[in-house]
Amino acid sequence: MTSLSSSHTVDTDALVALFAPWAGRRLAVFGAGYVGGAVARLARTAGLQVQALTRNPATASALAAAGVDVVVDDLSGAGWHARMPHAADFVLDAVGSGGGGPEGYRRSYVEGARSIVAWGAATPPPGPGHLIYTSSTSVYAQGAGARVDESSSTEPVEEGGRLTLESEGVVRTWAGPWTVLRLAGIYGPERHLLLDQLRAGVTELAGRGEHRLNLVHRDDVIRALVAAWRAPERAAGQTYTLADGQPETRAAVAAWLATRLGRALPGFAAEAVSTRRRHVPDRVVVSDRIQRELGWRPRYPSFREGYAALLEA
Ligand SMILES: NC(=O)c1ccc[n+]([C@@H]2O[C@H](COP(=O)([O-])OP(=O)(O)OC[C@H]3O[C@@H](n4cnc5c(N)ncnc54)[C@H](OP(=O)(O)O)[C@@H]3O)[C@@H](O)[C@H]2O)c1
């Protein structure tokens, strides 16, 4: 096994152990960001052969130092196809929006997925490995307190959601087994804006406090990826929603954090928020099916456990 970075924790050991049975097997990661980068490092530490594609030279250097084979390129083209070995057992598409507005979205999500599918189609027998795409609950438009799960209709009102839905369609044409995970808002180590704001003494938060936040801890996303890769006979061809299942209003989360930090309860200034963030729908994202079918259990079943761990770290 190679060593992890200084962010090594007890939980890191548990996550590495999840990948350990696959030591020596191959993982290909597209989109080496918050989720993809962590998966690449954990899997490499567990002894897998990991290839990762990134556009970002700094990310490339850091991953290479961790023992990951890195290809630096833009996913949406085909220039990287010849440089990325085809024989991956596990494939992860975790690219983000990539910036650049709707065109950037389309390039990274839709054209990126098309490029991955074309690369996979050229895999010699026995064919490509198990592709997981980290989609988003932005494919749902429901609000007004609705419960949303895999059976809910997908009629996204925003361009980002429409393009995400389109990229799901592309992923479903993958020549091997595929699974789509529709993720709620990801938080975790080094990604906790609300906590940072309150720590910094912010007393008025932009946006509204009364809509519920549907969250999932990054490490629970990684547990869901492993659960799907472990059970391809059940997970292949399936789409799952992924959230911790106990959404609370933003005001309640902020109040809990402020109390833990010994700060005054913050106010909210809805008019100070950008148009994009005004549309966060109030709803409850339900993830019963992945628990039932793949045995996934969030280690952080609500923001309280997740933020408590972050406060202790
Ligand atoms: N974050 C959330 O709350 C959330 C919620 C629901 C769903 N999701 C989905 O979950 C996935 C993982 O999220 P995340 O938070 O880990 O995202 P992230 O930190 O933004 O990482 C995404 C990565 O994709 C890379 N990327 C984007 N376009 C690319 C392209 N054309 N070619 C090569 N690389 C490209 C970015 O690289 P660069 O550094 O080069 O830009 C970045 O490293 C994403 O698919 C996201 O849509 C996220």
Task: Report pLDDT digits (tens) over 217-230.
Answer: 999 999 999 999 99
Q: Which atom of ligand 1 is nearest to the CA of 74?
A: 32
pLDDT for 273 equals: 54
pLDDT for 62 equals: 97
Atom 11 in ligand 1: which residue has the minimum CA distance? 94
159 Cα: distance to centroid of ligand 1 (angstroms): 16
Residue 145: burial class (beta carbons within 10 Å; 0-12, 13-18, 19+): exposed
201 Cα: distance to centroid of ligand 1 (angstroms): 29
pLDDT for 300 equals: 98
Model's pTM, two decimal places?
A: 0.96
Atom 8 in ligand 1: which residue has the minimum CA distance? 136
Atom 22 in ligand 1: which residue has the minimum CA distance? 96
The DSSP element (H or E) to which 35 belongs, if any, is: helix 34-45
- Of 11, 17, 64, 19, the closest CA to residue 37 belongs to 64
**Positions in the chain short of pLDDT 70:** 1-10, 271-279
pLDDT for 6 equals: 42
Residues 6+ apart with CB under 8 A from 60: 54, 70, 72
- Is ligand 1 within 6 A of the CB of residue 95? yes
pLDDT for 102 equals: 86
How far apart are alpha carbons 157 and 300 in whole angstroms?
Answer: 30
Q: Which residues of 98-116 are buried (b: 16+ CB within 10 A; e: fewer)?
A: beeeeeebbbbbbbbbbbb
- Is ligand 1 within 6 A of the CB of residue 301? no
Atom 42 in ligand 1: which residue has the minimum CA distance? 33
pLDDT for 180 equals: 98
Atom 46 in ligand 1: which residue has the minimum CA distance? 96
Residues pairing with 248 in the sheet: 213
